[in-house]
């Protein structure tokens, strides 16, 4: 976890007097070093045996266990949290942001069947505030620990004058691994007649917040701390609900329904799509062959109240809602029709709400929401 302007734990060659001048200019190296000293204890729960070195090096070290894979393929992804951060700023609540970011990245590589190995973060801010830093890092730690993903390092940059007071940005990079022969590639295995399962989301996750904030705070005139009866609490708390991780669930489903001792073609699970930016319309086609369509049926799942509010009071064309928001479905699973109910039962047994929400038909590679 880096704490500096241009590199990991970068401390410029300077005497004590110039360092104090640097602090007066907005970069407090001493504070950064003090916060840095808390990281080993915070990161301990994310440790994996493959991690080498200590927190604070110029690079994170991870020794891939080659005995577990004949042809390991490394899968990587990088992302941010977007304008969901505006809610964290408004409510001065930063404990969910790190977890959001880890889970989003885990889901992005999970759709290929990849197991997460390690994660690195970037935090940029104008003024480093200890409680904000600690809450964000604690979120990273919770997310990494829950996904068996090592938090091996990152960077925290203090850049006074670059960000608005009280604001910051975060991003993260994840690296995972999948056996080449077990990788889910979607297009090669999906056929007309397959069914589409939808796994429930916790809310907007980390996408669509620019439109969501406009609807709730401009069109409807709400404030982040406004209580909304349909939500059972404040709109701010509902919008800060943590992005669900489907990583452990997917790993369990693949072991059960696409076992390593059988050809991938015999597996019940054909493809997965993380429903993020672009909603159903842009994400599901990523796994479709050119001559197939996905048909998602409205009303086939229990839509959370926050999406009902967006639909009923948002004054936005309904078709656009399904291209911007996940509408209550965070992950879709394309499955062999004969095994669909078995997979559905397994998902529900793992305490995730799930439904059969559509099917694959002959077509031209698009997703329709009917």
Per-residue pLDDT of the chain (370 residues; tens, 9 = 90+): 443 323 333 333 344 455 567 666 666 666 656 655 566 666 677 888 888 877 667 788 889 999 888 999 999 999 999 999 999 999 999 999 999 999 999 999 999 999 999 999 999 999 888 899 899 999 999 999 999 999 998 888 889 889 999 999 999 999 999 999 999 987 789 999 999 999 999 999 999 999 999 999 999 999 999 999 999 999 999 999 999 999 999 999 999 999 998 888 889 999 999 999 999 999 999 999 999 999 999 999 999 999 999 999 998 999 999 999 999 999 999 999 999 999 999 999 999 999 999 999 999 999 999 9
Cα 234 off chain centre by: 23
What b/e string do you get for 126-159 counting C-beta neighbours within 10 Å, with b at 16 or more? bbbbeebbebbbebbbbbbbbbebbbbbbbbbbe
Check residue 12 and give its pLDDT: 35
Q: Identify whether residues 175 and 199 lie together within a single domain.
A: no
From 182, 212, 242, the end of a domain falls on: 182
Q: 2 lies in a domain?
A: no
Q: Identify whether residues 163 and 211 lie together within a single domain.
A: no
Q: Which range of residues forms the domain containing residue 171?
A: 16-182
Please report, for the domain that includes residue 35, its CATH number: 3.30.1330.10
Q: 52 lies in a domain?
A: yes
Do 158 and 26 touch, CB atoms closer than 8 A? Answer: yes
Q: Identify whether residues 23 and 142 lie together within a single domain.
A: yes
Q: Identify whether residues 291 and 164 lie together within a single domain.
A: no
Q: Identify whether residues 160 and 210 lie together within a single domain.
A: no
Q: Identify whether residues 68 and 202 lie together within a single domain.
A: no
Q: Identify whether residues 212 and 132 lie together within a single domain.
A: no
From 182, 205, 238, the end of a domain falls on: 182
Check residue 58 and give its pLDDT: 77
Q: Which is nearest to 25 in space by CA: 34, 37, 39, 12?
A: 12
**Token pair of 335, please?**
């499955």
pTM here is 0.89
Q: 10 lies in a domain?
A: no
Q: Identify whether residues 80 and 58 lie together within a single domain.
A: yes
Check residue 13 and give its pLDDT: 37
Edge to edge, the sheet with strand 269-274 lists: 269-274, 329-335, 195-200, 354-362, 292-296, 367-369
Q: Identify whether residues 164 and 199 lie together within a single domain.
A: no
Q: Which are the contacts of 49, defined by CB distance < 8 A and separation ≥ 6? A: none
Please report, for the domain that includes residue 351, its CATH number: 3.90.650.10
Check residue 128 and give its pLDDT: 82
Q: 11 lies in a domain?
A: no
From 135, 152, 182, the end of a domain falls on: 182
Distance CA 363, CA 242 (A): 36
Per the rule left: phi > 0, alpha: psi between -120 and 50, beta: everything else, 64 is beta
Q: 4 lies in a domain?
A: no
Number of domains in the chain: 2
Distance CA 114, CA 134 (A): 29
- Residue whose structure tokens are 């404030």: 223
Q: 237 lies in a domain?
A: yes
Q: Identify whether residues 267 and 141 lie together within a single domain.
A: no
Q: 7 lies in a domain?
A: no
Check residue 1 and give its pLDDT: 44
Do 150 and 117 touch, CB atoms closer than 8 A? Answer: yes
CB atoms within 10 A of CB 345: 11
Check residue 15 and give its pLDDT: 46
**Token pair of 174, please?**
């994840």
What DSSP assignment string belongs to 211-235? HHHIIIIIIS---TT-EEGGGTEEH
Check residue 7 and give its pLDDT: 38
Check residue 40 and give its pLDDT: 66
Q: Identify whether residues 107 and 249 lie together within a single domain.
A: no
**Token pair of 197, please?**
């399962």
Q: Identify whether residues 328 and 206 lie together within a single domain.
A: yes
Check residue 182 and give its pLDDT: 93
Q: 9 lies in a domain?
A: no
- 115-125/150-158 β-pairing: parallel
Check residue 35 and give its pLDDT: 59
């Amino acid at each position: 976890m880096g704490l500096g302007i241009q590199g990991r734990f970068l401390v410029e060659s300077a005497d004590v007097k110039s360092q104090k001048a640097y602090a007066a200019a907005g970069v407090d190296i001493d504070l950064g070093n003090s916060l840095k000293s808390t990281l080993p204890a915070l990161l301990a729960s994310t440790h994996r045996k493959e991690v080498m070195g200590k927190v604070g090096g110029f690079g994170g070290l991870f020794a891939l266990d080659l005995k577990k894979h004949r042809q390991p393929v490394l899968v990587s992804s990088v992302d941010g949290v977007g304008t969901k951060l505006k809610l964290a700023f408004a409510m001065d609540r930063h404990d969910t942001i790190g977890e959001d970011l880890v889970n989003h990245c885990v889901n992005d590589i999970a759709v290929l069947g990849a197991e997460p190995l390690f994660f690195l973060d970037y935090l940029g801010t104008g003024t480093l505030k200890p409680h904000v830093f600690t809450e964000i890092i604690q979120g990273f730690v919770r997310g990494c620990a829950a996904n068996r993903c090592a938090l091996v390092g990152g960077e925290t940059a203090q850049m006074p004058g670059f960000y608005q007071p009280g604001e910051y940005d975060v991003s993260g990079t994840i690296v995972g691994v999948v056996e080449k022969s077990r990788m889910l590639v979607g297009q090669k295995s999906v056929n007309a007649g397959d069914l589409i399962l939808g796994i429930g989301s916790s809310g907007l996750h980390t996408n669509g917040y620019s439109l969501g904030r406009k609807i709730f705070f401009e069109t409807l005139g709400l404030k982040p701390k406004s209580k909304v009866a349909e939500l059972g609490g404040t709109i701010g708390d509902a919008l800060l609900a943590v992005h669900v991780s489907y990583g452990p669930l997917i790993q369990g489903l693949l072991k059960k329904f696409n076992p390593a001792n059988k050809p991938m073609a015999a597996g019940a699970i054909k493809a997965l799509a993380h429903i993020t930016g672009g909603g159903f319309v842009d994400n599901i086609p990523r796994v479709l062959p050119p001559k197939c369509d996905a048909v998602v049926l409205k009303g086939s799942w229990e839509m959370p109240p926050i999406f009902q509010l967006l639909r009923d009071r948002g004054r936005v064309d309904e078709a656009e809602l399904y291209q911007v928001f996940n509408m209550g479905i965070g992950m879709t699973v394309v499955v062999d029709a004969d095994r669909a109910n078995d997979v559905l039962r397994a998902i529900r047994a793992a305490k995730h709400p799930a439904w059969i929400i559509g099917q694959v038909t002959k077509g031209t590679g698009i997703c329709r929401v009917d």
